Amino acid sequence: MIQAIAPMLVVADVARSAAFYEQVIGLKLEGSFTPEGRTTASWANLRRGAVELMLSCPTETPAGPVSRAQLYIRVDDVLPVLARAKAAGIATRGPYVRFYQCKEIEMYDPDGFQLIVSADTDEPPSEDQGE
């Protein structure tokens, strides 16, 4: 069952974009993440009530298609979604258990937008997180 869908925008500067969405749109910064070795955040989460927006700035340019907007889809279990995607012939990556305790799969919709399907988990992080 789907719990929520949050847009994730790929931006050039997470802090700058977060400030815009706070000051102009009225969202509140809930959290951000700065990877080791970086001086700037690579991810942030903003919210106001039920409205959620995530911002992402990749640490490196990924191979293959690049989506400037992503949908982060929270579900109860990623495995049924993975099975349906495979049955439909959709290429997927994962599942990976991320360090933030979510099991995730990735795929692209027919228009090239990246979908990240995620479910909370108590499983330990995958050694290969597909990054």
| In-domain check, residue 88 | yes
24 inside domain: yes
Query: By residue range, what is the domain housing residue 7?
Result: 1-60
79 and 32, same domain (yes or no): no
37-91 confidence digits (pLDDT tens): 889 999 999 999 999 999 988 766 666 666 677 888 989 999 999 999 999 899 9
Report the pLDDT averaged over residues 101-108: 93
Chain centre distance of CA 23: 23
Q: Residue 86: enclosing H or E segment and its boundaries? A: helix 78-87
pLDDT at 36: 87
Mean pLDDT score of the chain, rounded to an integer? 87
Residues 77 and 55 in one domain: no
Query: What is the pLDDT, as a whole number, of residue 110?
Result: 67
Establish if 65 belongs to a structural domain.
no
Residues 6+ apart with CB under 8 A from 79: 95
Could you tell me if 128 and 81 lie in one domain? Answer: yes
User: Which pLDDT band holds residue 1 (cuts at 50, 70, 90)?
Assistant: confident
On whether both 5 and 50 belong to a single domain, the answer is: yes
The total domain count for the chain is: 2
Task: Look at 105 and 110; give whichever has higher pLDDT.
Answer: 105
- Residue 41 within a domain: yes
